[in-house]
Structure 1
Amino acid sequence: MIASWLRSSPDTERTVVWVDAPAQSVVTPAAYWSGVLARLRNAGVTGSSAASGDVREIFTTVVHLLENTSRPVLLVLIRPDLINAGGLADQLTSLLSLCPEVDIIVTLSGPGMFSGPRQIGVDHDVITAKALRYRETDTAQLLALTDTPAAAGDTERVAALTGGIPALVRVAVAAIKNLDNCSDREKVVERLVNRAVDKYTADHVLALAEELGELEFVLATAYASTLTSELARLVSSSEDTVAQVRTRLIVLEAAGLYDRVESEPEETWELPSAIRRSILRLRTTAGIDSSAHLSYLADALIECGRQTLALDCALDAQNWTLAIDIAEQYWVEMLVDDVDRLSSALRRIPPEMAAKHPVAYAIRALFDGHPVVTLGALADPPTMLSDQDAIDTAKDALSVGCIESIMLRLSGRYEQSAAVAHRLSHLSRRALEDNSNVVSRQLPFMRAQWAITYQLNGLLAESTIEAHLAYQDGLSLQIGFVARAAASTIALNWAMVGEPLHSLHWSECEQRHTDHGGRLEPILRTAGLVARTLTSLDSLSIDEAISTLDELGHPSEAEELWAFVIYAHSQYALTRGDPFAALALMRRTVSAHSHQHTDTSLSLPLLQATEIDLLLALGEGNAALALAGSINDPAAYPWTLTSVARLRQRIGDNKAALALCHQYGWTLESYPRAQMELLLVQAVAHWELGEPQSATQAWFKVCKIADQTGLLRPFSTIAASDIALLENAATTGSQTLAVFRKDPGGESFPKALHIVTLTDREQAVLSLLKQDMTQVAIAKTLYVSVNTVRSQLRTLYRKLNAHNRDDAIMRAHALKLTSRV
């Protein structure tokens, strides 16, 4: 491949020096560098230095030659890792550092000579063996080059059966080169390709393994799809130590038989899937029952806690019953550990088999995005859980119901999802009372999911209760990721209501559990980061808020807690006086998540309130008032009530603001931040209405809540001058207020806001302007004189700060004054 690349892009300015793989006689770095030196001189890279047989002198001579060369040099070193002595890797990196005109291409089998090939300290690229495999387009080109008459589907079939390994693709293409079209071509192609791959495996892979004395080891470990040293020892029944087995794997990797799996945190190897399948076929042909062996291995892997590998073995054995049983028992663990692998594994189960098993069917539906029909057991669960049938039905109901709840939630049907979660929660409690065997290790994960469902539906108290149960279960069963997810959910709930001390406690609980590192990790961490951002803002710890917001970033399209993320960004923007960027981000994100921004989602009232606050901060009172007017019942949620009441107070409608504040009635749940901000609205409104006693009463309550909770940020929602007036009148002596006044920061909202309002006659004139009527036509339509119309237009233009007809129409639209037009 390297030679082809060099031929296809000749570089006349560069000297290419090719050094073949060292022969068996070349066993030392000194001998290797002597060969490199000879190649350099043959290529015309010469110098006056001489060298003895000492490796340091030979290497120094090579460096001197390359330092003084007048042309750039490309060194191509084939398999220098075959030199077992150490130090060669350091010399190569040193050569690159000392000789800037030199580039090096090194081919290796495995990381061998470089302990960390991606951290070798010089500018480099790593091209893995997998990256060199043929894509379907490459395979199609090869078929065309060999004049092989390919039928529809041949390219895809060859690619799937060979895994894109170039050597296997070549033998596969040769095997079907002269194949005529026939009715069962698909089966014939598969048979011919498999036969060619099996011959290659026997002649090259297994022959090399035998040459290395590792044939039995390779045959035994081929039953596992991936291998760690410990797992290879188990599978091969080896008496070697784990360290000795690791050495054997490294030798096989260096020989090109095993691939290193870079994505795993633990050292992991695998046979290429096409080679592995071929070995299993060869074993079956030799009369060895691979199916039975794989099923046995699956049981052993379950005992070792390797459920995903066990599922792979059961599927390879085509033991569908065992595969379904593993999936139904351990789907939660596998969902967290490797969701992609679980998804692809379940698709290998024949649909007709999965359809007979409700849980397996439901899990497949979750990945495929299909609706799941609720089981009758969930709608009408058994009255007693004493017999096995009732236990099995209840187990299925919990698993299927949990999956259905997740699917409903993902589709934006939060109220339905919460209703299913509510029924499941009751079923799980009854199951625990009647027969604890019904409830497995999956229950903590389910409870954590129900908590998220309640949270997204705006049921924060129910969410906290369920998450608390999940946290306790996660601790007792040592399921760290569940405990962490539950703690972050609780932390976010407390942060949303304005209890920073409680939120900080649960954030600390969350951080006691390390990152799991799986595909679900970004989802698990969002709630905790939002919680920490909000608690930092509540204490006006701006640097900490910036840090967590940077880590949080903007929500992706797959982010379920997207509205909470936007809320955190917006609260930071309000605190720092930059509402415009937050408003733009919110509108973009709402558009991307429109299917989830529904009447049953907390996102709707939460972001309605947030948008009102951002518009108020920008001074866009008319737009804020129009949005507030679209909310049917502001008092239904603490966020909307607070924002609408504050808006009313800022536009000077103090009586309406007080009337809204008096609708505060969330007696079953505590919302200290909302209550504190509403009391601030009351205090300012009463003061402006000339009611100082009522104002100071509200102010006393504000300071009491602040001292109890440590909330600082709500004070920034009113003007500093109002704070001074109220404290001078009441003299509360609040310690929290004193802390705030030392470093108050900016005010989030203007003290007063001007609203543009039009009379009915002005609205009528504006409406006729939009219809392109002349002043005479407008006068006739309204039965008034032209002079009256001119007078009304002057007033209208002045209110709208407009200079002409088009300007007035545009300004009226921007101020949300055209709704009745």
Structure 2
Amino acid sequence: MRSWLATDPVAGTTVIFVPSGSVHTSADAYWRTVSAAVGGECADETNDGGSPFEAACIGIVSREGPVRLVLDDLPVVDGIENSVGELACRCPDLRIVVTGRVRGAWHRLGRPIPVTLIGPADLAFTSDETSTYLRSRGIEHDLRWAQWITRRTGGLAAIIDALGVEIEKQGADIGSLGDTFLTRTIDESIARVVSNDAMLVRLGPTVALAAAAVPLVPDLVATLPGVPDDMTLPTVLERLGVTEQLEATDAQWRYPDPVRESLLRNIDTTHHNDLRCARAAFVEYWLDHDCPHNALAIAIEGEDWHTVLDVVSEHWTTLYTSGFLASIDEALIDRIPEHVAQGHPTVDAIRRMHRRFATPRDVPVVAATPEAPPEDTAGPAEVMMRVITLRIEGALLDAAALCEDLAAAPVPAFDELDERIRHAYAFLYLHIGITYQLVDRADEATTMFRRAHRAGAGMFVERDAAGKLALMYAVRGACFDAQRWLDEEQRHPPLPSKESERLVRTAGMVAAALIAVDRLEPESALAMLTDLSSPTDREEYWAHVLYAVGQHALLAGIPAEGLRRIVHHLEHYPELHGEGSAAGPMLDAVRANLYLAIGEIDSARNLVGQSHHPQTVAARARMHLFAGEPDDAESLADQYWTNVRCSAREAVELSVIGAVAADTNGDRKRALQHLGRAVALSRQHGLQLPFALLEPSMVRRLATLGAPLPVKADRVADDLAVFRPILPAVRLTKQENDRAYRPGERRNDRGDRQA
């Protein structure tokens, strides 16, 4: 709060700051503090029948000019919310900012008092804010470390600050410290922050033991050792800022995830038996309350596998019919030791169901026990080394041809393989996927990456495959799918070796940049692209990097800069964008759009005018639309939007262009049909960029058709304005040119008149 006020966020307004008071204060004592801060009389109930609250109201009313009252760390006092609401009603020009550790009853105020509630998640640092904080301390880092720290700390500012202090003491680059050091330091920082109150110190390990209870309810933790009979532990922890209430109407609390995980790691080391006993008591509590879901989750987290099997056996029907196993059956598959689960009929049934239904369809399941793979893997290994060599040389089609037999071979059940063999399969499928991705065989590449991700569990391939899947979906405009795989990729820490990290990070970072562009967030995309920098000669995903650069340049209004960067790098990779390469149509499409953005329709026509590739068709349709040829634009939209080779990106772009083209021709019914399709696809995939890839007047016309756009038309037309209006050149016949030409008049290279 002090940092916010230091930025003078409400210039021209008198800000009255009331600092934190005692947690155990009374209402009158608190309002006396407020009255003194606003310059009122420090009244009490014995003076002329007044009260400290009345004195505070009088003091504020007597102030001249606009006033903003900041009540920092509001104490927990019965009815304090109503008093603040009454103060706002009696002083209509007053604006009040309240911070507190307790959710309170603010949701009950509402009208006539406008109330905006900001929860802990909104106050947490974003990755960009973490990065800014680290830079302010002079700590060298790249964006991925900022993302990793934000995830591991939940963005909690106090923990990030404590971590920053420790990193600064080391005087080293974050990358050289490594994730093990940082995790230990985060745990130590959380332990210090959590134990900064005398009450928490008196409770001792009880605070950490309570973290094993999910969710945290008063009756559940009342029996923990060290909890006084008259104490409601969750409410005490909330008042001290350690936990938060799930909903204002529910008597359930939770620790922030990073705090909870850290407390459990520490208590498991120092009080392992106490933690085991507490978990056993929590399991019994939830079983007694007919909640086997919660009991099973606690047993799995504690790796109490015999209890897990007992709960599953006894409550199988409840668990299965409620769908709870959909989120935890992976634990039953991968975590229960084989010697414990072997022969257990229910677990065997779950495992069979999981392999049959939960495994992606493009990862075949072997029903019977597969034959052991041959020990000699030199054959496939040698072939794959040859594939990688051909890719490096630019012979992408030859590399893909070598992959055919490898990709067609039977796929084993990965969880039944020796770890060494499983990892070999992961590496194999990863590189088949890369090869197919680079030759524009997207569906087959997706299949290979999904196999690699599953086989590569526990090694870097798991992260690498997730990043490449995110990129596959991001290029197609399937933002929701791309974000899901990006979240999976980002849960892994950076690799210890900077060289290895550079090799695997590109796909995920490009995916993140494309997702940001597709959501109309150019600043977020720029942060990713800046951290990634220009592609090197060894970067296989150079074309994808340049594609993201071009897409960002369009959205950011710097098309000429985007063109310069792409053209410059194309000169360095002449052999990598020839026949069969995904680079050709992908970069042609974005370059055509960049040419249109600077008004060069003919240059765009030279690039994609004769192309029939699905990735370039939207640029062709847009070219016709801007050239004053709406019939041709709508014809392409009708012809291609149902083409199965077109991705979500092309389908949405074509539908948007078709809507404008039909409206230009006066057919509003057809225009609304096109637009309705575009809006539905946009909501399905989370794709907003196509609605910005128009001239401003066209965006405004879309807004008048009656369909609810997924973007704000005024913002897109005024603030983004990707394409400026283009006046197409007037084409004259030879006779018209001869008659119309006058001495001194200039002509372009096509013989058209130029004003």
Q: TM-score, normalised by structure 1?
A: 0.44
Which structure ranks higher in relative contact order (CA pairs < 8 Å, sequence separation ≥ 6)?
A: 2
Q: Which has the larger radius of gyration?
A: 1
